[in-house]
Chain A
Amino acid sequence: MARQWKAFRWWILAWVALTLAGAVAIARLELAQLKDAFETNARIMHRLLSQRVVQHDAILATLALLQPGPDGPADAAPEQRLPALYPQILSAQRRDREAAWSDPAMASAEATSRQLRRANLADLDFASGRYQLVLAAQPASYALTIDLRAMVPWAEWPLEPASSPVRVVLEHSGQQFVLQPGRLAPGGWRFEFHKHLAADSQAFDVVATQTVGWAELPWGRMALWALVLAAVLAWARHGLRQRAERSRAEELLRLGQVARLNTLGELAAGMAHELNQPLTAVMASAQAARRLLDDDPPELDTARQAMAQAVEQARRASDVVGRLRRAIERPDLSGQTQALDLVEAVRRALYLLEPECQRRGVAPVIEAPQPVTVLAEPVALEQIIHNLLMNALQALEHAPADRRLTLTVDANGSSGRLQVADTGPGIAPEVLSRIFEPFFSTRTGGLGLGLSLCETLATNMGGALTAAPNESHGALFTLTLPCQPQTP
């Protein structure tokens, strides 16, 4: 039990280790995918915003370039039409040649713009979401007031601003404007993106941030992996155990046969000694008596004494035989029978003899039209079937071709019947009458106990075992066993 638990513990450990490794891999893959998507989106947002600010530069440059000459109509102010065309442009201002900006900050920004030869930020108010851009030009300079929120091309925006977990912020000189709030959480993993917009005049920093919390990991997939792994390991373990059990069963069977042979050998040795002692005494006494009688004159008294001893020892030998018989006498099996499926018993015996069949190239055929239940003692029944099959297989070894082994199971009223038919050399008629005698064998080295034992077992269970020639050639053994309790 403890050993079993120990082995089971290794399986559990393997499962835990593989589950962890798989879960880490799944999480890393998921995080990599999330990061990829995040960075793609951030680049798209950066590009969209950059296009807009570049557009602002272009609008100012166009105004400066196309401004009406000194002779032009003074009231011609094309810049005033801009807010209608561009929703992000709240207003446009023009400073004519002699005029001055009302706001001194504008004047300073214009001066810088002139110096830099490009548009310049005049006022930056991220808190109210707007900024002013000035371009110094001749004769008039222009300024645009731009709304940050209207500047974003929401139609093309890759994320849903209200629900997206990504926080997007524009930063410039310490001020922040939140384009979308996102959902940032402490802990877990954090992706960040920083890039200035592609216009020097409005080089706002685009900062995108996303956090992935523990709860957002793909727990479902990880759980699925754990389950699949558990199933695979359980299946593998089951397979291995089944294989081990089968080989153990075969080993046990082999051991059982060896043990039986050893027991038999020991029995024979013991019997030889037990019988040899009195036989030695009988022989020595009788031989001594003969010599004493041959003497001249014969020593009658001693010879008589020797003969008495011989008789005594012969009786002792016969006692040994009687004791031996009582010792190995099998108990009456009729009281221990139980209902058994005969077909199933045949299948099991065949399963165990599968290697023997394969070695001889024999494919046994079972003909069992209906289930047959007989009353038998399981071990005795198994032994009978096993011996009959082994006999048939050994007989088939001597058949050059057409090696057939047919097992027929049927019922006939009150008894079930198993017929084992082989196409081996068959049984010679003079042998047929002696085939169930103990110590009678046609095989060299055979003990001649197998069939004798089977017949005794069958009889003890209220059945019978008979032998006959098979229809064409070979031998046919018929085992009959009662189907229902026999009334005594």
Chain B
Amino acid sequence: MNPAAPTPAGSAPLSPLIHLIDDDAAVRDSLALLIGTVGLRVQTWADPMAFIDGFDRQGIGAIVLDVRMPGISGLTVLDTLAAQGVDQPVIMLTGHGTVEMCRRAFKSGAAEFLEKPVNDEQLLEALQNAVRQHVRSRERHQADRRARERYAHLSEREREVLGLIVAGLTNKEIGRALDLSPRTVETHRANLFAKLEAESLAQLIRHYAALVETP
């Protein structure tokens, strides 16, 4: 029930943190205790505005948000998070959910919509799914970012060669297209694989095809 200390940005990506926002202290404490039983760390927030201003956006985890709160609706908080590009999955909790409310929540990007009082298995499973999903999406993003960084180190000629490799041309064809000797193409190709840390042609294409196609 002691809110875990926020982790420094990106330092412990595999220690997920759940943000729990509810204006009711008893609900906060009991849900935090329940979530804690599966080994997830929980940080509780009574004030949605304080949460928006203060939570760690870099950390891995998920957000549990009550729909009905004084001052600001949970749906508004959800919209704000989406507008700010927050990528942590959001699980909405509500006392009496209408179809319309549910529809709006999913439209605004909620990962899950659960009714109070909430079933423990449902909540915990939803949280674990959300965290898994978030970890995967972060990993994907990270891989993308790294690929982009490596791609930035390529020379103009190397990029041209990469584009033609991705297009499926042989060394000979590339040499003809760029007016280079097959030997020079071979050198560029070796440099490419080294700079992009690719071990096979398949890996090269999988990670870098998107970058070449949208220069």
Query: A residues bordering B, Cβ < 8 Å?
Result: 269, 272-273, 276-285, 287-288, 291-292, 295, 302, 306, 309-310, 312-313, 316
Contact check, A272 vs B95: say whether CB atoms are below 8 A apart.
Answer: yes
- Taking the complex as formed, is B117 at the interface, i.e. its CB lies under 8 A from any CB of chain A? yes
A157–B24 Cα distance when bound, in Å, is 114
Give chain A residues whose Cβ lies under 8 Å from the Cβ of B34.
Answer: 284-285, 287-288, 291
Contact check, B120 vs A291: say whether CB atoms are below 8 A apart.
Answer: yes
Give chain B residues whose Cβ lies under 8 Å from the Cβ of A309.
Answer: 26, 29-30, 33
Contact check, B31 vs A284: say whether CB atoms are below 8 A apart.
Answer: yes
- Taking the complex as formed, is B211 at the interface, i.e. its CB lies under 8 A from any CB of chain A? no
A310–B29 Cα distance when bound, in Å, is 11
Task: Tell whether A283 pairs with B117 under 8 Å between CB atoms, given A276-B96, A288-B30.
Answer: yes
Give chain A residues whose Cβ lies under 8 Å from the Cβ of B119.
Answer: 283
- Taking the complex as formed, is B37 at the interface, i.e. its CB lies under 8 A from any CB of chain A? yes
Give chain B residues whose Cβ lies under 8 Å from the Cβ of A280.
Answer: 24, 27, 30-31, 93, 116-118
A282–B33 Cα distance when bound, in Å, is 12
22 A-B residue pairs with Cβ-Cβ distance under 8 Å, sorted by A, are A269-B96, A272-B95, A273-B95, A280-B93, A280-B116, A281-B29, A284-B31, A284-B34, A284-B117, A285-B30, A285-B33, A287-B34, A288-B33, A288-B34, A288-B36, A291-B38, A291-B120, A292-B37, A306-B30, A309-B29, A309-B33, A313-B26
- Taking the complex as formed, is B132 at the interface, i.e. its CB lies under 8 A from any CB of chain A? no
Q: Mark B4-39, 1 if CB is under 8 A from A, else 0.
A: 000000000000000000001011011101101110
| Across the A-B interface, the 6 shortest Cβ-Cβ residue pairs | A287-B120, A276-B95, A284-B30, A288-B34, A281-B26, A283-B117
Contact check, A279 vs B116: say whether CB atoms are below 8 A apart.
Answer: yes
Task: Tell whether A273 pairs with B120 under 8 Å between CB atoms, given A285-B30, A292-B37.
Answer: no
A408–B27 Cα distance when bound, in Å, is 56
Give chain A residues whose Cβ lies under 8 Å from the Cβ of B207.
Answer: none
A277–B29 Cα distance when bound, in Å, is 12
Which residues of chain B in 131-183 are interfacial with respect to chain A, using CB atoms and an 8 Å cutoff? none
Contact check, B118 vs A291: say whether CB atoms are below 8 A apart.
Answer: no
Return B95 CB to nearest CB of chain A, in Å.
Answer: 4
Return A272 CB to nearest CB of chain B, in Å.
Answer: 5
Query: B residues bordering A, Cβ < 8 Å?
Result: 24, 26-27, 29-31, 33-34, 36-38, 68, 93, 95-96, 116-120
Give chain B residues whose Cβ lies under 8 Å from the Cβ of A277.
Answer: 24, 26-27, 95, 116
Return B32 CB to nearest CB of chain A, in Å.
Answer: 9
A348–B26 Cα distance when bound, in Å, is 52
Give chain A residues whose Cβ lies under 8 Å from the Cβ of B96.
Answer: 269, 272-273, 276
Task: Tell whether A281 pairs with B95 under 8 Å between CB atoms, given A273-B68, A287-B120, A291-B37.
Answer: no
Give chain A residues whose Cβ lies under 8 Å from the Cβ of B118.
Answer: 280, 283-284
A402–B97 Cα distance when bound, in Å, is 45
Give chain A residues whose Cβ lies under 8 Å from the Cβ of B31.
Answer: 280-281, 284
Closest to B95 in A: A276
Return B15 CB to nearest CB of chain A, in Å.
Answer: 20
Return A262 CB to nearest CB of chain B, in Å.
Answer: 16
Give chain A residues whose Cβ lies under 8 Å from the Cβ of B33.
Answer: 284-285, 288, 302, 306, 309
Return A295 CB to nearest CB of chain B, in Å.
Answer: 8
Return B19 CB to nearest CB of chain A, in Å.
Answer: 16
Return B134 CB to nearest CB of chain A, in Å.
Answer: 23
Give chain B residues whose Cβ lies under 8 Å from the Cβ of A285.
Answer: 30, 33-34
Give chain B residues whose Cβ lies under 8 Å from the Cβ of A316.
Answer: 26
A283–B122 Cα distance when bound, in Å, is 13
A331–B212 Cα distance when bound, in Å, is 79
Closest to B123 in A: A284
Give chain A residues whose Cβ lies under 8 Å from the Cβ of B27.
Answer: 277, 280-281, 284
Contact check, A282 vs B117: say whether CB atoms are below 8 A apart.
Answer: yes
Q: Which of A281, A306, A312, A313 has the most CB of B within 10 A?
A: A281
A469–B120 Cα distance when bound, in Å, is 49
A376–B15 Cα distance when bound, in Å, is 70
Task: Tell whether A288 pairs with B37 under 8 Å between CB atoms, given A313-B30, A316-B26.
Answer: yes
Return A311 CB to nearest CB of chain B, in Å.
Answer: 12
A282–B117 Cα distance when bound, in Å, is 9
Contact check, A276 vs B30: say whether CB atoms are below 8 A apart.
Answer: no
Closest to B23 in A: A277
Extra contacts, 16 of them, besides A282-B30, A285-B30 (Cβ < 8 A), are A276-B96, A277-B95, A279-B116, A279-B117, A280-B24, A280-B93, A280-B117, A280-B118, A284-B27, A284-B33, A285-B34, A288-B120, A306-B30, A306-B33, A310-B30, A312-B26
Give chain B residues whose Cβ lies under 8 Å from the Cβ of A282.
Answer: 30, 117
A272–B118 Cα distance when bound, in Å, is 14
Closest to B115 in A: A276
Closest to A273 in B: B95
Give chain A residues whose Cβ lies under 8 Å from the Cβ of B68.
Answer: 273
Return A315 CB to nearest CB of chain B, in Å.
Answer: 11
Return A299 CB to nearest CB of chain B, in Å.
Answer: 9
A279–B27 Cα distance when bound, in Å, is 9
A339–B24 Cα distance when bound, in Å, is 51
Give chain A residues whose Cβ lies under 8 Å from the Cβ of B38.
Answer: 291
Closest to B94 in A: A276
A313–B34 Cα distance when bound, in Å, is 15
Closest to A290 in B: B120
A69–B10 Cα distance when bound, in Å, is 166
Closest to B24 in A: A277
Give chain A residues whose Cβ lies under 8 Å from the Cβ of B24.
Answer: 277, 280-281
A278–B68 Cα distance when bound, in Å, is 14
Closest to A285 in B: B30
Return A484 CB to nearest CB of chain B, in Å.
Answer: 48
Closest to B26 in A: A281
A382–B120 Cα distance when bound, in Å, is 49
Return B44 CB to nearest CB of chain A, in Å.
Answer: 13
**Which of B26, B29, B36 has a CB less than 8 Å from the CB of A278?**
B26
Return B40 CB to nearest CB of chain A, in Å.
Answer: 12
A287–B123 Cα distance when bound, in Å, is 11
Return B82 CB to nearest CB of chain A, in Å.
Answer: 25
A288–B26 Cα distance when bound, in Å, is 14
**Which of A276, A291, A312 has a CB less than 8 Å from the CB of B116?**
A276
